[in-house]
Amino acid sequence: MEIYKRYTLAKEVTARSGKNCFLARNVKRLIGQFDRFFTESVKERLEEVTQSANRSDLPPRSSTIMSYSRGKLRFGEDENLFVLLRARRMLQRHDADLAAFDCTQDAPDELVTAVVPARNEESTVGDVVRECKKYARYVIVVEGGSTDKTVQAATEAGAEVIRDPGLGKGAALRLAVEYVNTPIVVFVDADGSHDPIDIPVLVAPIKAGMADHVTGSRLLGGSDELHGGGDEFLRLAGSAFITYLINRRFHSRLSDSQNGFRAIRTDVFRELHLRSRHTTIEMEMIMATLLARYRMAEVPTHERPRAAGYSKISLHRPSIWASYGWRLLEGLCRRRKIQGVAASPVRANA
């Protein structure tokens, strides 16, 4: 079987550089799944994927190759063909040697804590926690008044659970960071839209001393939730407008200011003195970082569709628009003060 030959070959490659980190990690996950689930049915499925890779009449992206089910959450599902074709090109170009794909070398990062805000996410939070524990040493789920079994699912998955009064996502994140003891904290949504495999990509610029706050960009990495309908259009247009204003105000060059998937130095987060109670904390965090002259960066991350449940943000509520408008205006008008004297903004390092 050709795919099995590729699998055995991948066990022999050694990494030449840190390039193609996203693809290498996806291939390693594919190999890890191969190790655990190499049954006859999986063999047949991999044979189908391999045969499809050699055909010129591949179905469009909107077909079954890249479809997502709303059943049990499984990160990386339906990415096989996408990953295999690019891995083959990497090997052909000698962009990577073989153990870059060795799934036995991964271990949770001792410097990282993943914080997962959750409310009524019992069907997905357990899978999100288990996936986060592969890349972060500690996982904290901050639960905001759930009426389902979110707490039970998170606890059984191995997370530390903190109860929040349910004041909003922003208040939950601020509360959770009080319990963080690692130098880096990563924020991950509990609905399955953020793939924890990107955690090492987010923390890499911080660990390299190149940034203090790194946000995942859906404009660079793609999103399955920003296109196709009226609400999606409003979200995309609103996000683009807000990001444009932030870039003009702080002389930065960000592409996405609204994604909740991000990493930040724990001490920096605490020094920002954030006040948002709701999802506006994402753009407030960026504006406060730039205002305080900390180094801001972004990396590509892909946003999957919500695996279950419902969004806690309704664009049909005027209070949502008022909340975003007020927090944006407040952040844009703030001035950095040094010993009581306002200071003009400087260009951020991205």
Instruction: Count the neighbouring beta carbons within 10 Å of the beta carbon of residue 107.
Output: 9
115: nearest Cα among 316, 278, 261, 307: 261
Average pLDDT value for residue range 46-63: 49
Give me the domains of the chain, ranges plus CATH numbers: 2-101 (no CATH), 109-337 (3.90.550.10)
Sign of the torsion angle spanned by Cα atoms 126, 127, 132, 135:
positive
Name the amino acid, one letter, at 226.
Answer: L
User: 17-46 burial string, b = 16+ CB within 10 Å, else e?
Assistant: eeebbbbbbbbbbbbbbbeeeeeeeeeeeb
Banded pLDDT at 71 (limits 50, 70, 90): low
The first and second tokens of residue 206, run together, are 């911080």
Q: Could you give the 3-state DSSP secondary structure of residue 109?
A: strand
Distance (Å, rounded) from C-alpha 59 to C-alpha 183? Answer: 45
Distance (Å, rounded) from C-alpha 52 to C-alpha 140? Answer: 41
Sign of the torsion angle spanned by Cα atoms 152, 156, 162, 166:
negative
Average pLDDT value for residue range 161-178: 91
pLDDT tens for 252-267 read 999 999 899 999 999 9
Between 301 and 12, the higher pLDDT residue: 301
321: nearest Cα among 237, 256, 259: 237
Highest mean pLDDT among 84-88, 91-95, 239-243: 239-243
Name the amino acid, one letter, at 27.
Answer: V
pLDDT of the residue at 105:
58
223: nearest Cα among 195, 182, 263, 254: 195
Q: Are 137 and 246 in contact (CB under 8 A)?
A: no
Read off the DSSP letter of residue 100: G
Q: Which residues pair with 186 in a beta bridge?
A: 114, 263
Between 340 and 126, the higher pLDDT residue: 126
- What H or E segment, with its residue span, contains residue 5? helix 2-10
Q: Output Rg (C-alpha) for the chain, integer angstroms.
A: 21
Q: Are 164 and 145 in contact (CB under 8 A)?
A: yes
Distance (Å, rounded) from C-alpha 147 to C-alpha 119? Answer: 8
Mean pLDDT of the chain: 77
- What H or E segment, with its residue span, contains residue 263? strand 262-265
pLDDT of the residue at 322:
72
pLDDT tens for 290-332 read 999 999 999 999 888 776 665 555 555 666 667 777 777 787 8
pLDDT tens for 106-129 read 689 999 999 999 999 999 999 999
Quick check: pTM over 0.85? no
Between 71 and 293, the higher pLDDT residue: 293
Distance (Å, rounded) from C-alpha 263 to C-alpha 208? Answer: 13
H helices of the chain, where?
A: 2-10, 21-36, 40-53, 80-93, 125-132, 150-156, 169-177, 199-207, 218-221, 230-250, 266-271, 281-291, 318-333
129: nearest Cα among 164, 157, 102, 103: 157
pLDDT of the residue at 50:
53
Whose tokens are 């909003």? That residue is 168
